[in-house]
Amino acid sequence: MAYTAQTGPTPDSPKTNLADASAMPLIGPTETFESVTQNIGGIVLTQKPPRSWFFGAGVAFILLMVLLCAISWLLYRGVGIWGINIPVAWGFAIVNFVWWIGIGHAGTFISAILLLVHQQWRTSINRLTEAMTLFAVACAGLFPLLHLGRPLVFYWLFPYPDTMGLWPQFRSPLVWDVFAVSTYFTVSFLFWYAGLIPDLASLRDRAPTRRKKVIYGILALGWRGSAAHWQNHQSAYLLLAGLAAPLVLSVHSVVSFDFAVAIVPGWHSTIFPPYFVAGAIYSGFAMVLNIVIPIRKIYGLENYITARHLNNMAVIMLATGMMVTYGYVMEAFMAWYSGDVFEQSMMANRAFGPYGWIFWALILLNVILPQALWFKRIRTTPATLFFVALAINIGMWVERFVIVITSLQHDFTPSAWRLYRPTFWDWATLAGSIGLFLTLLFLFLRVLPMISIFEMRKLITEKPGGRA
């Protein structure tokens, strides 16, 4: 064992003992090695998917088709099908990109940082959140490509040996983005896959049909569960966690540079990197909750994803939400304090201009509603928590809209000011990207164990009373 777990808390009924969150159990009291493997592996191997899976996957698939239509039309006609213009040359595509990238951050935060700081409660949700990270980054990765005027030459942003000796222009934050996002995707994928290997082997061993055996067998990469395997696996897993952890901070910092490096009032701000990172984790946890709360209900996983998990995530949301709020306050304060006419005018326009109602919607969704999380009852009641998380998810999308659009719409030269109005295709692309995300998620739920089996079993060994 490369790390030693702390002594686990006493399992108890989630309904009791609300006063002390750390006292709430991480795993149901009745779980055994066998039951864990059966319950989690069974969802993939033997159980028929519940009716709601078919319904959800169907909706997701329809939205995915919407995305394909939107992309086809986009490639055929050009980015003019969107509402972008001069001066607002970036619209939904960039808003969506930042939003999706941000959502991914919770996954990495949970699986890497919480692993390194020995937070055991991460175990039951890390697989799902890592998958969420991957899918969110996949969605995010689409947008920088699609928003190019000439998407077929996207590879010019990569440093490849060009016959004319041309390189990307390394001072541009968009090039940094390319590296940040591709690194993020690669590391996230490896980390997720490395974590999957022992479970894939379990599935292989329990697969009821020949075909499943072969497929899971190939994916398991010959895992036999020997001590040497575990030794190597744990080192690799920790190393990857070590690699992934700084990415939580760096990726969204780099994304924020897209704005902070520009001279546009409302973008050009040193507070952006920490403010973006906090926002990313904020929205990421909101998305985790929006996914986990229905899943634990439908698949009956309350024993693995307990009220304590919900509570912990809510607390993190509350904390990052306060950081984000601080960011909003500082943006407004600095606009005034700087004495800079352009900043002041931008801020006044942001709050009281034509998009003012969107700004106040942002304040309601991201600042006021989440204050409900101060109440433990709300934090531990799945329905209310789901609602607050949903508000935060929408709020964080709105935040990016406010940053991207209201800043561009009202910059230095008044004669050029012009409003931005999203078109049908803007909305279709946003809805379609949600479709892609959900489709990948539903496929994941169907074919891979959504909770890490081996890590859950480890929790059982470590809980007081030892092996069941």
**Contacting residues toward another protein, per CB under 8 A:** 77-80, 83-90, 147-151, 153-154, 156-157, 163, 166-169, 171-175, 178, 258, 261-264, 341-342, 344-345, 408, 411-419
| Six token digits for residue 17 | 């003992």
CB of 142 vs another protein, minimal distance in Å: 15
Contact of 158 with 178, CB cutoff 8 Å: yes
Nearer to another protein, 183 or 384 (CB): 183
Whether residue 428 contacts residue 407, with contact meaning beta carbons closer than 8 Å, is answered with no
H/E segment holding residue 211: helix 210-219
Kindly state the smallest distance separating residue 321's Cβ from another protein, in Å. 29
Taking the least distance from each CB to another protein, the nearer of 17 and 344 is 344
Q: Rank residues 84 and 289 by Cβ distance to another protein and give the closer one.
A: 84
Helices then strands (H, E): number in the chain? 17, 0
Tokens encoding 422: 């999203």
Q: Smallest distance, Å, CB 415 to another protein? A: 4
For another protein, give the closer residue by CB, 236 or 419: 419
Structure-token match 């709300």, residue found: 378
In the complex with another protein, the residue whose CB is nearer, 88 or 140, is 88
Cβ proximity to another protein: between 149 and 464 the closer is 149
Q: Is 459 exposed, middle or buried (0-12, 13-18, 19+ CB in 10 A)?
A: buried
**Residue 408 Cβ, how far from another protein at the closest point, in Å?**
6
Q: Strand, coil or helix: what is 48?
A: coil
Q: From the CB of 86, what's the least distance to another protein, in Å?
A: 6
Q: Are 318 and 376 in contact (CB under 8 A)?
A: no
Q: Left if phi > 0, otherwise alpha if psi is -120 to 50, otherwise beta: which for 300?
A: left
Q: SS3 for 19? A: coil
Angle between helix axes 307-337 and 272-298 (nearest 10 degrees) is 160
Given a contact cutoff of 8 angstroms between Cβ atoms, the answer to whether 288 and 110 are in contact is yes
In the complex, the smallest distance separating the C-beta of residue 70 from another protein, rounded to whole angstroms, is 16
Q: Which is nearer to another protein, 84 or 440 (by Cβ)? A: 84
Q: How far is the CB of 140 from another protein (least distance, A)?
A: 16
Q: By C-beta, is 223 or 267 nearer to another protein?
A: 267
If the CB atoms of residues 341 and 368 are measured against another protein, the closer one turns out to be: 341
In 3D, which of 259, 277, 253, 255 has the Cα closest to residue 408? 259
Give 455's contacts (C-beta < 8 A, 6+ positions apart). Answer: 123, 126, 195
Cβ-in-10-Å burial (0-12, 13-18, 19+) of 77 comes to exposed
Q: What is the smallest separation between the CB atom of 468 and another protein, expressed in angstroms?
A: 54
Give min distance, CB of 151 to another protein, in A.
8
Output the smallest distance, CB 81 to another protein, in A.
Answer: 8
DSSP, residue by residue, 278-314: HHHHHHHHHHHHHHHHHHHHHTT-TTTS-HHHHHHHH
Query: Least distance from C-beta 211 to another protein, angstroms?
Result: 28
* Closest by Cα among 416, 403, 402, 412 to 345: 412
- What DSSP element (H or E) covers 100? helix 92-108
For the chain, the straight-line distance linking the first and the last C-alpha, in angstroms and rounded, comes to: 20
- Residue with smaller CB distance to another protein, 100 or 282: 100
Q: Is 335 within 8 Å of 374 (Cβ atoms)?
A: no
Using the minimum distance from each CB to another protein, give the nearer residue, 175 or 239.
175
Burial of 411-442, coded b for 16+ CB within 10 Å and e otherwise, reads: beeeeebeebebeebbebbbebbbbbbbbbbb
